[in-house]
Structure 1
Amino acid sequence: MNLDTSILRTFVTVAELKSFSKASTRLNRVQSAVSQQIQKLEMQIGHKLFDRTTSMVELTVKGELFLPYAIQILDINDKSIAMMAENLPKGRVKVGTSDTYASCFFSELLRRCAETYPEIEIEIQCGYSGDIWEKYEQGKLDLVLTQGCPTHINHEVIHIEPLQWVCSPTSYVYKKHPVPLALFSKGCGDREIALDALNRAGILFDVNFSSTSHTGIIAAVKSGCCVSVVLESTITDKFRVLGNSDGYPSLPNLELSIAYRNSDKNSPSYLFSKIIRDYFHHRHTEQSPLKTSQQNTEEVLEPLYK
Structure 2
Amino acid sequence: MNSPLFDLDLLRAFVVVADCQGFTAAAARLHSTQSTVSQKVLRLEDLAGHRLFERSHRQVRLTEAGEQLIGYARRMLALNAEAQELLSGASVAAALRLGLPEDFAAGRTTRMLADFARAHGDVKLEVTSGLSRDLRALYERGELDVVVVKQRRSTGDAVKRWAETLCWIDSAAYPTLDAEPLPLVVFPPRGLYRDDMVAALEAGGRRWRISYTSSSLASIQAAVADGLGVSLLPSRVVNDRHRIVKPKDGLPAIETMEIALHHRPEASPLVIALASDLAKLIGEGG
Name the structure 1 match of 2:88. none
Alignment correspondent of 2:129: 126
Shift of 1:274: 1.4
Structure 2 stretches of 5 or more lacking a match?
Answer: 1-91
Matched with 1:181 is 184
Change (3 A) 1:254 1:153: closer
Q: Whole-Å Cα distance in 2 between the matches of residues 186 and 212 of structure 1? A: 10
Q: Could you tell me which amino acid in structure 1 is paired with residue 139 of structure 2?
A: Y
> How much does 1:106 deviate?
2.9
Q: Indicate whether 1:192 and 2:195 are aligned.
A: yes
Query: What is the percent sequence identity of the aligned residues?
Result: 22
Distance verdict in 2 for CA 1:108–1:200, change over 3 Å: farther
Q: Give the superposition deviation at 1:258.
A: 0.8
Relative to structure 1, the CA distance from residue 118 to residue 192 in structure 2 (aligned partners, 3 Å threshold; closer, same or farther) is farther
> Which of 159, 164, 176 is equivalent to 1:161?
164
Distance in 2 (CA, whole Å) between partners of 1:202 and 1:271 is: 48
CA contact (8 A) 2:97 2:144 kept: yes
In 2, the alpha carbon distance for the partners of 1:225 and 1:158 equals: 33
Map 1:29-108 onto structure 2 (within 5 A).
90-103=93-106, 106-108=109-111
Q: What do the CA deviations read for 1:36-67 (whole angstroms, capped 9, x no partner)?
A: xxxxxxxxxxxxxxxxxxxxxxxxxxxxxxxx
Q: How does 1:229-244 map to 2 (within 5 A)?
A: 229-244=232-247
Choose the corresponding residue for 2:148, options 145, 149, 154: 145
Shift of 1:199: 1.3
The aligned residue for residue 276 of structure 1 is: 278
RMSD, aligned α-carbons: 2.6
1:137 partner letter: E
Note the alpha carbon deviations across 1:92-142, whole angstroms, 9 max, x for none. Answer: 222223223324763243233234334433222233323322221221111
The aligned residue for residue 223 of structure 2 is: 220
Count of aligned residue pairs for this structure pair: 195
Q: Contact conserved, 2:160 with 2:262, CA < 8 A, in 1?
A: no
Aligned partner of residue 176 in structure 1, secondary structure: coil
The answer to which structure, 1 or 2, has the higher relative contact order (CA under 8 A, 6+ apart) is 1
Q: Tell me, which stretches of 5 or more residues in structure 1 are unaligned?
A: 1-88, 285-306
Contact 1:167 1:227 in 2 (8 A): yes
For residue 67 of structure 2, what is the aligned residue in structure 1? Answer: none
| Greater fraction helix | 1
In 2, distance between residues paired with 1:99 and 1:233? 12
User: CA 1:187–1:152 in 2, change beyond 3 Å: closer, same or farther?
Assistant: closer
Letter of the structure 2 residue corresponding to residue 270 of structure 1: I
Cα offset for 1:248? 1.0
SS of residue in 2 equivalent to 1:174? coil
2:93–2:122 Cα contact (<8 Å) kept: yes
| Distance apart, 1:263 and its partner CA | 4.2
281 and 200 in structure 1: CA distance in 2 versus 1, 3 angstrom threshold = same
- Give the TM-score taking structure 2 as reference length: 0.61
SS of equivalent residue, structure 1 residue 189: coil
